[in-house]
Structure 1
Amino acid sequence: MTRPGAGMAADIDEQPAGYARLLTAEHAGAIARVAAVIAQRRPRHVVFTARGTSDHAALYGAYLTEIRLGLPAGLASPSVVTLYGARPDLSDALVVGVSQSGGSPDLTEVLRAARDAGALTLAVTNAPGSPLAETAELSVDIAAGHERAVAATKTYTAELLALLMLVEGVRAGDGVLPADERAALDALPELAERTLTDPTPAQLAPRYRFAGQLVTTGRGYAYPTAREAALKLMETSYLPALAFSGADLLHGPLAMTDPDVPVLAVVGSGPGGRSMEEVLPRLGERRADVVVVGSAEVEGATRMAVPEVDERYAPLLDILPLQRLALSLALARGEDPDAPRGLKKVTATR
């Protein structure tokens, strides 16, 4: 009998190899060709549509799009199309469906409606033969391979890297990444390997075994990481976890933090990380149990260390110890994170 959590552990450990695979000439070239088409079409705004874990990858894509391309970006509400029958004017838009399975009917319907409205449509998925990919005009295969556990890990980070390569390719104009950008990306597999050797996540699991709730927080590129970490903890440990941007945390929810409510703060070295300097002292005033995730060192806080990289790349590393924590905490609470109750690999929503 396979031991509980073995599948999730294997999926987590495969992520450095997944980064390297996506950066090979075959897959990088395919993404570059898609990026060149998008650059040529010159969309005026970008709309992402996704669910669950992929929704957090899409949020990261939206940050990249607005910051790196200067294009307005947002996340669509699929129910506008599927439940209410609305058909927004998306004629000048790039509409991107992000889905590990490509099998969600609502996302497929959004892309179909967008294409009918004249939008350029793109599917980012781990299933190139899926309905989503077949509906879209363009498609990117994230090449993560079969995921053993129900809770997504390696498909999430593959989506992040594919979106990063895509946006930077569009920014380049011809889809080809500049040499310095490519060199930085080529370093990610080894940095991910190093990040996964940190024993801290497993050591923290007994500390939070009996936690009743938890808060995650981060700003900018780190905010999708905070949201994905909260989802993983809820999916695998059934632990109520609330994700807030650092700014939103100060607008009221800070009051819920205290010594009995652990806070996982994603803090890097870029503008988003520096902005958390306003948040961390306030958490200290509340005597909150804070764990810092990232490259920043915060006095008095437990730290899950991550190598320092450009803030754009940090989400590919910051999520790794948080996935490990979710795995270890689920096992400490007597759960099997490979097959969480009530969770399916493909959730068919309409």
Structure 2
Amino acid sequence: MTQSLMLTEAGQSPEVVADLLDKERPVFAEIARLFSTARPSVITTAARGSSDHAATFFKYLFEISCGVPVASIGPSIASVYGAPLHLKGGVHFTVSQSGGSPDIIALQAAAKTGGATTIAVVNVTDSPLAQQADIVLDLHAGPEKSVAATKSFITAVAALSAVTAAIADSGSLRDGLSRLPEALAATAGIDGAAAEDVLFGASSLYTGGRGPAFAIALESALKAKETSGLHAEAFSLAELMHGPMRLVQPGFPVIAFAPDDAAFANNAQALERLAKLGATAVSFSTTPLPGVNLRMPSTGNGLLDPLVSLLCYYRLIEQVTRRKGFDPDKPANLLKVTETM
């Protein structure tokens, strides 16, 4: 069987992340200088789809590391409703693989008109978004042909994490990022057969995590839907303990991203409670957990480790998709670049 583009491109992630972290050092430093001068009290972001999940990862990591709120602005605020933005002295990040969707371009323009410095985090540096931004952060992911974004998502998160490390002047984040390519590479060959059986037999599932891992839960739920046609909803594992618990029946699958960070004990308690209700837990963690536990390599920083788990998950959901008889590179009803307003 020919290897899918999705699997091939996901497997390129360790190399492209290493390339990104090396080549964009001057841009990380430039953004850090901007922050030290402007000292914005709030950061804004705009993105769609997987890129929005990368922005959510950034939100949690930046708020934890720098204590500055990060707010997502819906692109339609500018592109449909034509509302002016008041962002004097602000910094606005737009995250996009293609940099071509009219709505995020319109919002970036509105942010600039409103007084913000605009930063485009893109994989296509001659795109309209990049050409109109004040600062361009190139993802260096190379061509991505599969409809399902994999390496471009991982590099976007790595790029925004490096921005955070530079602004926070965090040695622990820098050290973790330096080990990220090796940790990503070490996911190759992890046996996900038991987890694959759980997902293949599911009709619906939850994904969950806390902090940056919640962003990975969002991304994993999206990939389940767009590749394998499997209904999945993402929740903070704290939120899952509320209304969503109503749907948990014996055998109901819950995919949990539970890195060794400050939320680990709370996550473990949540999984114990779900297990008592009969849920089938599949956890991605560097530490043993009950249920189907996929033990992950570590960067040495629990805030970054969910990104390592995601590469393993990408391989897992690609296998489930093929087993269902679908082509992971050509999901029904979807195009690689979606231009919205």
What TM-score results when the alignment is normalised by the length of structure 2? Answer: 0.95
What does residue 119 of structure 1 align with? 116
| From 193, 199, 223, the counterpart of 2:185 | 193
| From 320, 332, 335, the counterpart of 2:326 | 335
What does residue 166 of structure 2 align with? 169
Q: Map residues 208-227 of structure 1 onto 2, 5 A cutoff.
A: 208-227=199-218
- Residue by residue over 1:102-124, the C-alpha shift from the partner in whole angstroms, topping out at 9 and shown as x without a partner, is 11111110010010111111110
Deviation at 1:298, TM superposition (A): 1.2
Indicate conservation of the 8 Å contact 1:39/1:171, yes or no: no
Indicate conservation of the 8 Å contact 2:45/2:55, yes or no: yes
What does residue 14 of structure 2 align with? 16
- Residue by residue over 1:291-331, the C-alpha shift from the partner in whole angstroms, topping out at 9 and shown as x without a partner, is 111212113x1111112331221132021111111101000
RMSD (Å), alpha carbons: 1.6
Indicate conservation of the 8 Å contact 1:54/1:98, yes or no: yes
| From 11, 26, 30, the counterpart of 2:27 | 30
* Alignment partner of 1:297 is 2:278: no
Indicate conservation of the 8 Å contact 1:34/1:139, yes or no: no
Q: Distance between the aligned counterparts of 1:104 and 1:272, measured in 2?
A: 36
* Alignment partner of 1:243 is 2:226: no
Indicate conservation of the 8 Å contact 1:34/1:140, yes or no: no
Q: Distance between the aligned counterparts of 1:189 and 1:11, measured in 2?
A: 15
Indicate conservation of the 8 Å contact 1:293/1:304, yes or no: yes
| From 87, 91, 97, the counterpart of 1:90 | 87
Q: Secondary structure at the match of 1:276?
A: helix
Indicate conservation of the 8 Å contact 1:16/1:188, yes or no: yes
Q: Distance between the aligned counterparts of 1:230 and 1:273, measured in 2?
A: 21
| From 225, 230, 247, the counterpart of 1:256 | 247
Q: Secondary structure at the match of 2:238?
A: helix
* Alignment partner of 1:81 is 2:78: yes
* Alignment partner of 1:157 is 2:154: yes
Q: Distance between the aligned counterparts of 2:55 and 2:133, measured in 1?
A: 16
What TM-score results when the alignment is normalised by the length of structure 1? Answer: 0.93
Q: Classify 1:206/1:302 alpha carbon distance in 2 versus 1 (closer, same or farther; 3 Å).
A: closer
Q: Secondary structure at the match of 1:124?
A: strand
What does residue 312 of structure 1 align with? 303
| From 51, 56, 61, the counterpart of 1:54 | 51
Kindly, what percent of the aligned residue pairs are identical? 35
- Residue by residue over 1:153-174, the C-alpha shift from the partner in whole angstroms, topping out at 9 and shown as x without a partner, is 00001000100111111223xx
Q: Distance between the aligned counterparts of 2:32 and 2:96, measured in 1?
A: 18
Indicate conservation of the 8 Å contact 2:259/2:306, yes or no: no
Deviation at 1:197, TM superposition (A): 2.1
Q: Classify 1:106/1:70 alpha carbon distance in 2 versus 1 (closer, same or farther; 3 Å).
A: same
Indicate conservation of the 8 Å contact 2:218/2:235, yes or no: yes
What does residue 38 of structure 2 align with? 41
Q: Classify 1:181/1:212 alpha carbon distance in 2 versus 1 (closer, same or farther; 3 Å).
A: closer
- Residue by residue over 1:211-236, the C-alpha shift from the partner in whole angstroms, topping out at 9 and shown as x without a partner, is 21111011111100111000001010
Q: Which moved more, 1:29-38 or 1:41-50?
A: 29-38
Q: Distance between the aligned counterparts of 1:39 and 1:153, measured in 2?
A: 32
| From 44, 49, 61, the counterpart of 1:64 | 61
Deviation at 1:252, TM superposition (A): 1.2
Q: Distance between the aligned counterparts of 1:323 and 1:63, measured in 2?
A: 22
Deviation at 1:40, TM superposition (A): 2.1
Indicate conservation of the 8 Å contact 2:268/2:289, yes or no: no
Q: Classify 1:285/1:181 alpha carbon distance in 2 versus 1 (closer, same or farther; 3 Å).
A: closer
